[in-house]
Structure 1
Amino acid sequence: MFDIGVNLTSTQFSKDREKVVKRAREAGVTGILITGTNALESQQAQSLAQQHANYCWSTAGVHPHHASEWSGETAATLRRLTESEQVVAIGECGLDFNRNFSAHDQQEYAFDAQLALAAELAMPVFLHCRDAHTRFVDILKPWLAKLPGAVVHCFTGTRSELEECLALGLSVGITGWVCDERRGLQLRELLPLIPADRLLLETDAPYLLPRDMRPRPPSRRNEPCFLPHIVQQVAAWRGEDAEWLAQQTTKNSRNLFNIT
């Protein structure tokens, strides 16, 4: 199993990061992609990945929440980080018109700039889209032919949005959101529509703890060691064998991010 989305730089892991990685290994998780969300955390993510070489890798990017921080210096930092073998994708980048922590024009500018960087460096992109699908596609589409690959991380959109993402050739990341009986039912119904070779799985830890875990973890913090639960549930809802799905999604992850 490969977890393509872990926010290991989060302060929620500050007291036990090593144990978190150890628990992931013991649970059968064979690889972790650490998410970079701004210049500083992208540097921290690369450093953590380096400490766990050949088990952890990282992304380098600016999340739309931090788009107002975008600058030439930020771009230079990301470019420098991509020289490291641990950094395998540009992102997390995209648009978030739900919480609007940065203005729409700032988000769009930073997103386009990161797509340009990824295209120049021939690197895949780790994408974020929330309540911004139409504009997201408008900005992304012209760059797709120049990118080696892309995944829409933590997909929670509609059927029509999923179909458009798939038509564009994007991979789709599914989290424990799908295990939520309040918010995940619509997404659960869409799971069979995702081709097996385009599906990737992730925890987005420490966020999105699967609500249907029994017994419930004593903490509300999610961890990559809970990825097996997500694999089991997604496999059941897709009508597939869990072990096979774990192997297939791991293959997909390694292929997308060119991890050998």
Structure 2
Amino acid sequence: MIDIGVNLTNNRFLKDLPDVVARAQSSGVKAQLVTGTNEAESTAALSLCQQYPTYLYSTAGVHPHDADNVSQQFEQVLKGLAQNTCVKAIGECGLDYNRNFSTPENQRRVFECQVNLAADLSMPLFLHQRDAFDDWMSILQPYLNKVPNMVSHCFTDDTATLEKVLDAGMFVGITGWVCDDKRGQALQDAVKYLPLDRLLIETDAPYLTPKTIRPRPKSSRNEPAYLPYVVEKIAQIKQCSVEEIITRSTENAVRVFGLEDVG
């Protein structure tokens, strides 16, 4: 398994990161992509990868929540980070009108800069979208054939939105949201129609702990060792084997992010 979205720079992992990594490896997670969410976190994500070569990889980007706070040279910062072979995508970037922690205007400006950067560098995009689909897609549309791969990270929408994402040629990251029978019903319905050749799996740790874990962990913190629960739920929905979900999602992650050296 390859966890394509983990927030290992989050302070909830400060005290026991080596144990978190070891538990993930014991659970069959062969590689992890550490998410960069702003200039500082993207730099920290790369530093973490350098401590675990050929196991941790990272993205470099600015989350829409952080769009108000970018430096004047943020594009150059991201471009510099992207020169390192550990960095496999630009992002997490996109639009989030659900909370508007940054103004929509700044979100769009910072997002478009990163989409353009990914095209210039011929790198994948690691994408975030919440309650902003039309604006998000309008920015991406001119770049659909200019960016090698686009990943709809932490997809939680319905079947109609999934169809639009697939029509745009994107890969789709499924998290523990799919394990929530109350909040995740629309996603569970959508996953039935998600082709296995577009499927990617992720925990988004420390967030979105799968509700299917038994016994329930004492801590609410999600971690990459729980990725098998996401796989099991997808396999149940797709009515196929766990092994097939692992094989296909791993092949996709290797192809999308260029992870040929994963053991």
CA–CA distance in 1 between the matches of 2:172 and 2:209?
Answer: 19
| 1:32-85 CA-partner distances (Å, limit 9, x unpaired) | 000000000000000111111101100000000001123432111111101111
- CA–CA distance in 1 between the matches of 2:71 and 2:170? 28
The separation in 2 between residues aligned to 1:108 and 1:71, in whole angstroms, is 16
TM-score, normalization by structure 1: 0.99
In the aligned structure 2, how far is the partner of 1:160 from the partner of 1:28?
33
What is the match of residue 244 of structure 1?
244
Partners of 1:73 and 1:25 in 2: CA distance: 37
Q: Distance in 1 between matches of 2:235 and 2:147?
A: 29
Describe how 1:96-245 pairs up with structure 2 within 5 A.
96-245=96-245
Q: How does 1:29-48 map to 2 (within 5 A)?
A: 29-48=29-48
List alignment gaps of at least 5 residues for structure 1: none
- Alignment partner of 1:72: what SS? coil
**Could you list the per-position Cα deviations for residues 217-238 of structure 1 after superposition, in whole angstroms to 9, with x for gaps in the alignment?**
1100000000011111111111
Tell me how far apart the structure 2 counterparts of residues 217 and 46 of structure 1 sit (CA, whole Å): 29
Q: Distance in 2 between matches of 1:52 and 1:233?
A: 29
CA distance in 1, matches of 2:240, 2:72: 47
- Counterpart in the other structure of 1:10: 10
Partners of 2:185 and 2:158 lie apart in 1 by 11
Most deviating of 8-17 and 181-190? 181-190
Task: Measure the CA separation in 1 of the matches of 2:109 and 2:250.
Answer: 33
CA contact 2:212–2:229 (8 Å) conserved in 1: no
Shift of 1:100: 0.5
Alpha-carbon shift at residue 3 of structure 1 (Å): 0.3
Taking only the aligned residue pairs, the percentage that are identical comes to: 49
2:19 alignment counterpart: 19
Query: In 2, distance between residues paired with 1:115 and 1:72?
Result: 17
Taking only aligned residues, the RMSD between alpha carbons, in angstroms, comes to 0.7
TM-score, normalised relative to structure 2: 0.97
- Unaligned runs of at least 5 residues, structure 2: none
Deviates more, 1:183-192 or 1:68-77: 68-77
Whether the aligned pair in 1 keeps the contact of 2:158 and 2:189 (CA below 8 Å) is: no
Point out the more displaced range, 165-174 or 178-187: 178-187
- Which amino acid counterpart does residue 191 of structure 1 have in structure 2? V
Distance 1:209 1:241 in 2: 22
In structure 2, distance between residues paired with 1:106 and 1:91:
16
Q: How many residues align?
A: 260
The amino acid that maps onto 2:201 is: L
Give the Cα separation in 1 of the matches to 2:143 and 2:72.
20
Task: State how far apart, in whole Å, the 1-side matches of 2:147 and 2:71 are.
Answer: 22
Task: Tell me the distance in 1 between the aligned counterparts of 2:20 and 2:68.
Answer: 31
